[in-house]
Amino acid sequence: MAKLRQLKAKRIVIKVGTSTLITPNGKVNLRAIDQLSFVISGLVSQGKQVVLVTSGAIGVAMNEVGLEQRPKAIPSQQALAAIGQSRLITMYLERFTTYGQNISQILLTYDVLKDPETRQNALNSIEQLLKWGIVPIVNENDTVSVDEMDHQTTFGDNDQLSAKVAELINADLLIVLSDIDGLYDDNPHTNPDAKMMEEVHEITASIWEVAGGKGSKYGTGGMQTKLLAAQQMLENSKAMVLINGQDPSRIFDVIAGIPVGTLFQKG
């Protein structure tokens, strides 16, 4: 029997990506939303404090309005985000209510967490929600977060957002749900012999290299952003676990210390 991991997990941030929430044919993965709601509700009932960072708003809206391709125009993406966010939070509300769990919605931009006053305001809100046993559901405010503005408003991706939220609330653990089982020693999409790394204590140059490197097709918007999030957690002496989001119930295994996915934690 594999040795159990020793993880502190009183306050947890869970990040779920679009690949988990939207099926390959563009439909909303209602089963994943239901499972995620069930798991998080169960964790709260165990006395855990959980924040959910969710992607998927634009994907949900594309399904809603019948678009097969994500538009390149920024105003179109903003409009889709506005449509999809309301639909997405409604789906979460329906499923969490089924399990007797109250939720809330928080939309953030980079500037909110960069400015000391608004950062403290955001922290105060989240702390009070957690005190009341309510799950904050966080997303980037994509209706206003665009690169063309004079100031930096975007986090770049929700992997970065989840790490920033974890830092803000001093979370013990960040769990990232992805479309891959963990971090591999080579690209598993092209190398069937690639092996998954069970634990990473330091993100070295060689790890950046096997993850695809900065600017590569494999790393950009994929493993690279997850390594950046993991690096931030390590710098704060906190832990991150990267697992496949196909079965959100595996979050229970992570909390129990069962070695699934890749654990990023200082040795």
Q: What is the domain count for the chain?
A: 1
Q: Does residue 193 sit within a domain?
A: yes
pLDDT in tens, 116-164: 999 999 999 999 999 999 999 999 887 776 554 334 445 567 899 999 9
pLDDT in tens, 154-190: 556 789 999 999 999 999 999 999 988 999 988 777 8
Can you give the length of the chain in residues? Answer: 267
**206 has binding-site annotation:** no
pTM of the model: 0.91
Q: Does residue 3 sit within a domain?
A: no
Quote the domain boundaries for residue 106: 11-264
**223 has binding-site annotation:** yes
Q: Which pair of structure tokens corresponds to residue 66?
A: 């019948």
**158 has binding-site annotation:** yes
Average pLDDT on 253-266 reads 95
Q: Does residue 51 sit within a domain?
A: yes
Q: Does residue 5 sit within a domain?
A: no
**160 has binding-site annotation:** no
CATH number, position 217 = 3.40.1160.10
**78 has binding-site annotation:** no
Q: Does residue 41 sit within a domain?
A: yes
Q: Does residue 6 sit within a domain?
A: no
Per the CB < 8 A criterion, the answer to whether 262 and 198 are in contact is yes
Q: Which pair of structure tokens corresponds to residue 223?
A: 């493993």
**118 has binding-site annotation:** no
pLDDT in tens, 25-74: 888 999 999 999 999 999 999 999 999 999 988 889 998 888 888 888 88
Distance (Å, rounded) from C-alpha 26 to C-alpha 206? 35
**226 has binding-site annotation:** yes
